[in-house]
Amino acid sequence: MRFDGRKSDETRQIKMTRGFTKHAQGSVLIEMGDTKVLCTAMVEEKVPMFLKGSGKGWVTAEYAMLPSSTQTRKNRDIAKLRLDGRSTEIQRLIGRSLRSVMNLEALGERTVWIDCDVIQADGGTRCASITGAFVALVDALNAVDKLTPFETYPLQGMVSAVSVGIHEEGAILDLNYVEDSSCMVDMNVIMNHKGEYIELQGTGEERPFTAKELTALLALGEKGNMDLQNFVKETLGSDLGRIEF
Amino acid sequence: MRFDGRKSDETRQIKMTRGFTKHAQGSVLIEMGDTKVLCTAMVEEKVPMFLKGSGKGWVTAEYAMLPSSTQTRKNRDIAKLRLDGRSTEIQRLIGRSLRSVMNLEALGERTVWIDCDVIQADGGTRCASITGAFVALVDALNAVDKLTPFETYPLQGMVSAVSVGIHEEGAILDLNYVEDSSCMVDMNVIMNHKGEYIELQGTGEERPFTAKELTALLALGEKGNMDLQNFVKETLGSDLGRIEF
Amino acid sequence: MRFDGRKSDETRQIKMTRGFTKHAQGSVLIEMGDTKVLCTAMVEEKVPMFLKGSGKGWVTAEYAMLPSSTQTRKNRDIAKLRLDGRSTEIQRLIGRSLRSVMNLEALGERTVWIDCDVIQADGGTRCASITGAFVALVDALNAVDKLTPFETYPLQGMVSAVSVGIHEEGAILDLNYVEDSSCMVDMNVIMNHKGEYIELQGTGEERPFTAKELTALLALGEKGNMDLQNFVKETLGSDLGRIEF
Amino acid sequence: MRFDGRKSDETRQIKMTRGFTKHAQGSVLIEMGDTKVLCTAMVEEKVPMFLKGSGKGWVTAEYAMLPSSTQTRKNRDIAKLRLDGRSTEIQRLIGRSLRSVMNLEALGERTVWIDCDVIQADGGTRCASITGAFVALVDALNAVDKLTPFETYPLQGMVSAVSVGIHEEGAILDLNYVEDSSCMVDMNVIMNHKGEYIELQGTGEERPFTAKELTALLALGEKGNMDLQNFVKETLGSDLGRIEF
Amino acid sequence: MRFDGRKSDETRQIKMTRGFTKHAQGSVLIEMGDTKVLCTAMVEEKVPMFLKGSGKGWVTAEYAMLPSSTQTRKNRDIAKLRLDGRSTEIQRLIGRSLRSVMNLEALGERTVWIDCDVIQADGGTRCASITGAFVALVDALNAVDKLTPFETYPLQGMVSAVSVGIHEEGAILDLNYVEDSSCMVDMNVIMNHKGEYIELQGTGEERPFTAKELTALLALGEKGNMDLQNFVKETLGSDLGRIEF
Amino acid sequence: MRFDGRKSDETRQIKMTRGFTKHAQGSVLIEMGDTKVLCTAMVEEKVPMFLKGSGKGWVTAEYAMLPSSTQTRKNRDIAKLRLDGRSTEIQRLIGRSLRSVMNLEALGERTVWIDCDVIQADGGTRCASITGAFVALVDALNAVDKLTPFETYPLQGMVSAVSVGIHEEGAILDLNYVEDSSCMVDMNVIMNHKGEYIELQGTGEERPFTAKELTALLALGEKGNMDLQNFVKETLGSDLGRIEF
């Protein structure tokens, strides 16, 4: 059993507060245990240069941690005049993951700006960001849809993400900060509603992992994503209605 | 009467959630109507270069708006590689205001990092930041005091801030965004617990203001600050005990 | 009496050299005692993006200190890749102050670039900048007016600025560097020709100030601004003729 | 069969030129078909701040593309004042991969700087960088070892990397640029000499991939890495002698 | 005689590999002894803002050293967020030198991007860059000419560059790194095919130089440039055919 | 005869105001016709990292144009976040020129900061900067010498600079802006008091120049530098006394 009493295949307590703020069309505070990320989606009626005139839209993501979100204060990027390397990596992942379930032609020449701002970090912020941002994206697209209905609804499925890792006592699901720090291998599994992989990122910086361990990690990742997607389905209820599963 | 039903000398509904996040020693979500700012205070056991060896400490503040906190998405500073001019102005004001009630010798060679991150903006974010940051500062200093008691308690008084403005129908207290946008004159009044001025910033970009109008604004500012300080006293209760008033 | 022999309500010796350089339409070297600031105004026949097509013009200001203008050499902003926080605050103040006496519709789609470059600093550079820039602005607008007369003259009044402070022996006017460094409270008073306030910025970082002290400071500020405006009127003579007072 | 005549499980022609330049202790030009990357390793006798006094060393990597390495000229990072997001992601991957086979205590307080500069890009530059950098790292460590022999040799194994993808006709190994552009799923497989995973990065931005497809991709990835490692073993010959397999 | 056996008026061994990479229309690896610079020319069908609508084209150059090209690793510009001062100076020189033999009207509204990336530095990289870039420029212009023949061929002559210096034993031609470091005076001589000067840059930071020494340096510079131009003529053969000498 | 009535070998009217500002130990406003540059020298009692412990000092120069110094307003470097390429080139030239007459061992571990800020530009600002900075340097060194006399005086000679160019009607000395813009060839000649060359920079971007033309330019350059040095000698009088010619 784990330090916080969870079983190895159990996620932390999940909570999602939709409409957490009022200006963004989609605004969700997602909490996975003590990890809290504000995920927002704002729709802008224009596209980046490379898509002008293409009829296609874009989804882009930014990720940042508030200075007070970590145990030791984290300097703001602007103080160093450079975007944090880890944040760059994460926001590119969030963007790719969300675009994977989008029909960008159906979106039309619009940009959806996803912002994932970590209010409190306790492990798994990038995965929480993806899952929370998906819900914000649904809310934002529905807000647009209400005003000017989409011919084809631009969302084609669900996406969620969860971390898994190999600990001294074996593979575990949804690592908190303490577990993450002591893990030898960790992996982020991003899946759609069919249990297919959107993205897989496994890192064995501490020690490599075997094919057998990979199998165990993937099984946990699938379990976790299904739990998350069930939670998302309950949270969104009929608001998921326009996706054609 | 005002659009939202308030009297001209009435603040919006105030709410403060202490301990909003867990890593900072002081962490306060202040809400003034729809304006929500997360104010945190983190103590670091070292000082900037110019104070090394002086025996004195420092209080420094940073202010930023989340991209989704405003009606139209606000680009992050790092995207433009420069700190927003308005943010610069505001964070310098917050820092000066808090230092004005500090005994920096009593603090010892420590830095208190104040971070004011606007979660939702609806006017008056700089004033809310000062008032909220004061509460976070008290919590952070008390946390330090519990572990290694201060010989002399470094806080010497209270500080709070409120905006006042001149509207078509006269002077009003604590402007929300709609009022702020249509104001001809606006002023920020920062006061200590004795009703003395810490800082005054009045701007008549739309039209100048007379000495008589100034008097009306100052009276409202005093009223507002006293209301805020009463709220802060109730919120902090005995945690204000080590300040010698 | 003050160290340099002035009475408490006396400004330093003022000097203004119009046409100090030849490329800018307005170019004024203002000297307030040993403080010397080159204030220039250059008119560009286009406006920033947010005003395109609006029929309105803009006045924007930049402020910088030459590296050799201070006792200890001041690094250039470009060496640190960031605009000095204090300069940001000051140039925003200069811009707001000048715009307060402008009719931006009458200016038409033009930008007036104000540059205040401190050649030698001895206290009060921001106030000297505002007063000097006003004179440069008049010269620049008149230069435009001569070539293509304005239907409505875009200047609607005068603006000047002076610093006041509270010293050990009471309130004093127009602080030099030594006085500024030892002041407990200091305030910048920006006024128009009717003695109305354009902007008020009072700071009690060293100690707070009372309502009574504020009254004393404001009185000195009014006296100083009237002295400065008399000087400006003499300097400009009939060149002020198109302003309708 | 593929456009360039290769079988689906065949890598492009590999070529490695050791000692391509003279200043770096390790300098390898790796060619995978038309992809050419100069990988160098330079050893510096100091460590980053966070390791000072720890007795441990560090391996860090930088990755960049020459402006002329791509079909359309790629602007230099310095021209935009920001490190390319993709380059950030890649250089973090290279660093992690190489550190995974290092014993940083055995390295002592030294930093190995890995530079991967793409001379000509035709797909798979990040994988070529890892494989090429491994060879440069061996050469650099052996150069140090010759002068001041390591007590424990700091390399603990081999690392190589190869890309795999899903094409219209199924899974293929070692994608060139044309294949990469038309791939629906692509994955980078980084392995050690035991066939264990160091890092796995699979992306289904175009369409998700199933568990069955993953199995096919991993099999190709293992085949490719073994081919690469055989090539590396031949290239390095006895210079691999100090690694204890 | 010199350390490497050369006579005082002898260049190092020259080698030029045309078509070194495949994406740039002109791509030349120039080697002067151990100095190796990749010089590329890429033609873009647009011009910088200041030339839009002018009918004229532009040639611009960038110069950089790979981090591993020098004895001690050279940090990338992006790591310091500023373009190296020496690189700035050099790339401006390369651009001016190449433009001096161009007919920019004949080029039409196109930009030729010259990139000189130093693979290995052993003295004289700026001169090698100019000579190598000239050859790349010829190849790129001929590539354009083949597709859409120029009415007037935009190249009007040849340009080459060589360094000369004053050593303990007198003036020498084409300094390598060791000679460069111990030289008291050094000069870069850029010439056209008529032996006329395009640019002269002589620096006596170590000690000044006399008119007599200047004469000796210029004679060597002429000799070296003629040798280089003979080499270039052989290398390019009939590809120089469209220049009207 | 030239447009402004000068003969081809005549400089513009020279004026130098020593002690133009009070904070820098050396502060000279140099005027060459309408070109006005403020040249200051400030001595700091420390050296850059690479000289620490060497016993040697350093002279470094920065050059910038005020935004209002040119006909069209010149944006500040900080507005573009990058140091102007031309300024980089110029300040490196100023630094090298001044260091050429310094004995850096005799200076001791001090840095002399030279700042050349162009107040008004009318051609030849880089040459005026060098000549003016030399006078400021003398004043600054003498100020140090008075407080703590140098054992060996660190200045070993004089340095001055003048521009020459080839015009339609032949070679001319000390070009103003109009002449500079229409010149086909221009050259900066930096000389010491013995008439030896410190630096030569000749540019034939418009058209190349012949050996014969070079001879004419150098003769004019020598004449101009001797005139300037005579002026400097008169200006400095006995303050040049510690240089051993």
pLDDT digits (tens, 9 = 90+) for B55-96: 999 999 999 999 999 999 999 999 999 999 999 999 999 999
List Cβ<8 Å contacts ≥24 apart for D77-83. Answer: D77/E76, D77/E77, D77/E78, D78/E76, D78/E77, D78/E78, D78/E81, D78/E82, D78/E83, D81/B81, D81/E78, D81/E81, D81/F81, D81/F82, D82/A82, D82/A83, D82/B81, D82/E78, D83/A82, D83/A83, D83/A85, D83/A88, D83/E78
F169 pLDDT above the threshold of 90: no
Report how far residue E64's alpha carbon sits from residue A15's, in angstroms, rounded to the nearest whole number.
52
Is there a domain that residue D48 lies in? yes
CB count in 10 Å sphere of residue F92: 17
Cβ distance A76 to B81 less than 8 Å, yes or no, reads: no
CA–CA separation, A9 vs A164, rounded Å? 9
Task: Identify which of A70, A77, A119 has the shortest CB distance to residue B78.
Answer: A77
Report angle CA D118, D121, D126 to the nearest 5 degrees: 65
pLDDT < 70 positions in chain A: none
At A3 the pLDDT is 86
CA F101 to chain centre: 13
Mean pLDDT of F59-72: 98
**Average pLDDT value for residue range F172-179:** 96
Please give the C-alpha separations between residue F178 and each of E61, F71, F128, F131, F241, in angstroms, as whole numbers: 27, 12, 17, 22, 39
- Would you say F126 is a known binding-site residue? yes
Under DSSP, the state recorded for F100 is T
pLDDT computed for residue F3 by the predictor: 86
pLDDT tens-place string over residues B12-47? 999 999 999 999 999 999 999 999 999 999 999 999
Helix, strand, coil: what percent of chain E each, to 5? 35, 30, 35
At F205 the pLDDT is: 74
Other CB atoms within 10 Å distance of the CB of residue A88: 22
Helix residue spans in C32-176 (DSSP H): 77-80, 85-99, 104-107, 125-147
Residue F148, domain member (yes or no): yes
Contacts for B178 with CB less than 8 Å, ≥ 6 apart:
B3, B123
Task: Say whether C96 and B205 touch across the interface (CB within 8 A).
Answer: yes
Nearest to D22 among E34, E38, E66 (CB): E34
Chains in contact with C via at least 3 Cβ–Cβ pairs below 8 Å: B, F
For residue C201, what pLDDT is reported?
97
Are the beta carbons of C202 and B204 separated by less than 8 Å? no
**One-letter amino acid of F141:** L
C40: chain F residues, CB-CB within 8 Å: 66-68
D73 and chain E in contact, CB less than 8 A: yes
Residue of chain A minimizing CA distance to D159: A208
Residue F88, in any domain of the structure: yes
What pTM was estimated for this model as a whole? 0.96
When pLDDT is cut at 50, 70 and 90, the band that residue B3 belongs to is confident
The answer to whether E22 contacts D120, with C-beta atoms less than 8 Å apart, is yes
Q: How many domains does chain D have?
A: 1
Residue D106 placed within a domain: yes
- Asked if the C-beta of F164 comes within 8 angstroms of chain E's C-beta atoms, the answer is no
What is the CATH classification number for the domain harbouring A35?
3.30.230.70
Nearest 5°: CA angle at D30, between D26 and D35? 145
For residue C207, list chain B residues with Cβ-Cβ distance below 8 A: 100
Contact criterion met (CB < 8 Å) for B73 and A44? yes
Q: Is residue C7 part of a domain?
A: no
- Max CA separation in chain A (angstroms): 56
Report, as an integer, the average pLDDT of B107-135: 98
Amino acid making up residue A172: I
**Cβ-Cβ contacts under 8 Å, B27 against chain A:** 68
pLDDT of D1 above 90: no
Residues of F in contact with E197 (CB under 8 A): 202, 204, 208-211, 214
Please report which confidence band the pLDDT of residue C148 belongs to, taking 50, 70 and 90 as the band edges. Answer: very high
Q: Do F197 and E202 touch (CB under 8 A)?
A: yes
**Chain A nearest C-alpha distance from D22 (Å):** 31
Q: What is the pLDDT of residues B204-232, one digit of tens each?
A: 878 999 999 999 999 999 999 999 999 99
**pLDDT given at position A237:** 97
At F119, is the secondary structure helix, strand, or coil? Answer: strand
Question: How does F191-219 read in b/e, with b if 16+ C-beta sit within 10 Å?
Answer: bbbeebbbbbbbbbbeebbeeebbebbbb
Average pLDDT per consecutive 10 residues, chain E (245 residues; last block may be shorter): 92 98 98 98 96 97 98 96 95 97 97 98 98 98 97 97 94 96 94 97 92 97 98 97 89
Q: What is the pLDDT of residue C88?
A: 96
Query: DSSP string covering D39-95, please?
Result: EEEEEES---GGGTTSS--EEEEEEEE-GGGSSSPPPPHHHHTS--HHHHHHHHHHH
The answer to whether residue E102 sits within a structural domain is yes
Q: Do the domain assignments include residue D6?
A: no
Q: What is the pLDDT of residues A29-54, one digit of tens each?
A: 999 999 999 999 999 999 999 999 99
pLDDT exceeds 80 at position F1? no
The band of D190, judged by pLDDT with boundaries at 50, 70 and 90, is very high
Say if CB A118 and CB A66 are below 8 A apart. yes
Q: What is residue F43's predicted lDDT score, i.e. its pLDDT?
A: 98
Percent of chain B with pLDDT over 90: 94
Q: What is the pLDDT of residues F93-147, one digit of tens each?
A: 999 999 999 999 999 999 999 999 999 999 999 999 999 999 999 999 999 999 9
Chain B, nearest residue to C104 by Cα: B206
Tens of pLDDT, residue by residue over F66-94, are 999 999 999 999 999 999 999 999 999 99
Give the domain extent around C91.
14-240
Is the CB of residue D129 less than 8 Å away from at least one CB of chain E? no
Which of C71, C78, C121 is facing F83, going by the closest CB pair? C78
Band (F14; pLDDT cuts 50, 70, 90): very high
pLDDT of residue E229: 98
Instruction: Check pLDDT > 90 for residue D186.
Output: yes
Cα distance between residue B155 and residue B115, in whole Å? 18
Is F4 a member of any domain?
no
